[in-house]
Chains A and B, each alone.
Chain A
C-alpha cells in the first residue's frame, strides 16, 4: 500500500487476520450469530458497520480531549446511536427496499461490542486519521468473518447463495439433489454459526501457532 505508511497499513491489516475482532478478541459474536443465515444480510451488515465504525472512530477521536471522562461511555453511546439513526433514515428515504431487508439489524449495530470496544481502546487515545484506519480495519475484519459464515450457512443450509439456487432444486430433485444430497437444516439455526466460527478459529490457529495461548 503506497498510500499508507507501514504503521498505518498495519492498523488496517492486523484486524483482518491476526487480531481479528471476532476470532481473536471474540467481540461482536452476538450479531455474527444472529444475521449470518444468509449471505446478503451479512454483507449489508458488514458495510453498515464499516461506515458507523469508521465515522464514529473519527468523531470520538476529534472529541477525545474535550469529553469528560466520567461520562465518556454515555458520549460514545450517543455518537453510535446518532450515526445509526442517520444511516437508518437515509436508507429509509433513498433505499427503502434495502432498509426493510435490514430492519432491526441496523438498530443492532448500536449494541455491537466491537464499536464501543474500538472507541474506548483506540479512538480515545489516537488521532483522527489513525482512528479512521483502525475503525475501517476492525469493521473489515468483522465483515470478513460475517461473510465467510454467511456463505457456508446459506450454501449448506438452504442450498442457495444470494437466494439463487446454486445446488439445484431441493423439491424438484435436480442438480446435486438428484444424487441424494440434502440441505442441512441445522445450518440455518444460530448454534451452527457458533460452530462455523469455531472452525474458523481452529483453522486460523493451526495455521498460525503464535496465536495459541499458553495455559
Chain B
C-alpha cells in the first residue's frame, strides 16, 4: 500500500499520532523516574547543608566531596540538632524545614502581605553551635543559590554555593573550593552593624588574608555572577539579622 504522504489529512493524522506517542513515552518516563529524582534532590539539600557546616569528605586541597548519598540521611539527623521556620516574629521548630522551597517563598513574598517563611538549621559540630541559612539569587544566566553557615556572631564558618547555568570556567567557579573557602572567617557584621559580604575586584587581597574587610576576591571573567552573589548574600542573610540580634 503506497501512502500518500502529501495529503493534508495524512499530515494531520500523523501529527496527532506522533503527539500521542511522544507524549505517552515522556510522561511514562518522567513518572517512572520521579521518585528517584525527588530522593536525589532531597539528599542533595542535606549534603549541601552539611557541606556548609564543614561536614564533608574532602581529602585534597581542591576537593569538594559530599557525604555519600547512602549515609547522608543518618549524618543529617546526627549533626542538625534543630530546624526552625522563622515567620515574622514567630520562630517554630519544624524538622521538615529543609524541604521549604525558598524560591517559592520569595515569589509569594512579592505579593505584599505574605510573611515569608525562613528556614534556619541549628547544627552542632565539635561542640560548637552552627547556624545554616539558605540563600538564593541571580547569576549571569540563571539562578544561583547556596547555604551559609555562621556562628552566633554571624561570622562565617563555611559556605556552599551552586548555580543552574553559569559558564564553566568562569561563573561556574563559584562552586570551586578555593572560592568558597575564601568566605570562611569573614563576618556579616561590621562592629555590630549588618553590612553583607562583597565579591570584590581589585581589593588587593587575592589570598584573602584580611578577614575584616567584608570582601572576598572576585573570579576573573565572572563579574556579573560575582555581583549577583554579593547581592544574594546581602539580601537573603539580612532577613535573619533580627533573629541573630536576639540571640545575644
Known: A103-B164, A157-B169. A93 touches B22 (CB 8 A): no
Q: Residues of B within 8 Å of A, CB-based: how many?
A: 33
Q: Which of B3-11, B78-86, B190-198 contacts A (4 or more CB under 8 A)?
A: B3-11
Say whether A3 faces chain B, with CB atoms less than 8 Å apart: no
The segment from A69-77, A196-204, A207-215 that touches chain B is: A69-77
Query: B220 contacts the other chain (Cβ, under 8 Å)?
Result: yes
- Decide if B30 touches A89 in the complex (CB within 8 Å): yes
Residues of B within 8 A of A164 (CB): 62
Q: Mark B179-217, 1 if CB is under 8 A from A, else 0.
A: 000000000000000000000000000110000000000
Total A residues in contact with B, Cβ cutoff 8 Å: 38
Specify which chain A residues have a CB less than 8 angstroms from the CB of B58 in the assembled complex. none
A interface, over-half SS: helix
Contacts of A75 in B (CB 8 A): 18
On whether the beta carbons of B26 and A104 are closer than 8 Å, the reply is: no
Assess the B14–A93 pair: CB atoms within 8 A. Answer: no
Query: Which residues of chain A are near B36, meaning CB under 8 Å?
Result: 93-94
Which residue from chain B places its CB closest to the CB of A164 in the assembled complex?
B62
The residues of B that contact A66 with a CB separation of less than 8 Å are 3, 5, 14
Query: Could you tell me if B168 and A104 are in contact, using CB atoms closer than 8 angstroms?
Result: no
Indicate if the CB atoms of B221 and A93 lie closer than 8 Å.
no
- Pick from A74, A96, A164, A171 the residue with the most CB of B within 10 Å: A96
Which residues in B have their C-beta under 8 angstroms from that of A41?
168
Q: Is A166 an interface residue (CB 8 A)?
A: no
Shortest C-beta distance, B26 to chain A (Å), equals 6
Q: Which residues from A are CB-within-8-Å of B22?
A: 78, 82
Identify the B interface with A (CB < 8 A). Answer: 3, 5-6, 10-11, 14-15, 18, 22, 25-26, 29-30, 33, 36-37, 40, 44, 62, 141-142, 162, 164-165, 167-170, 178, 206-207, 220-221
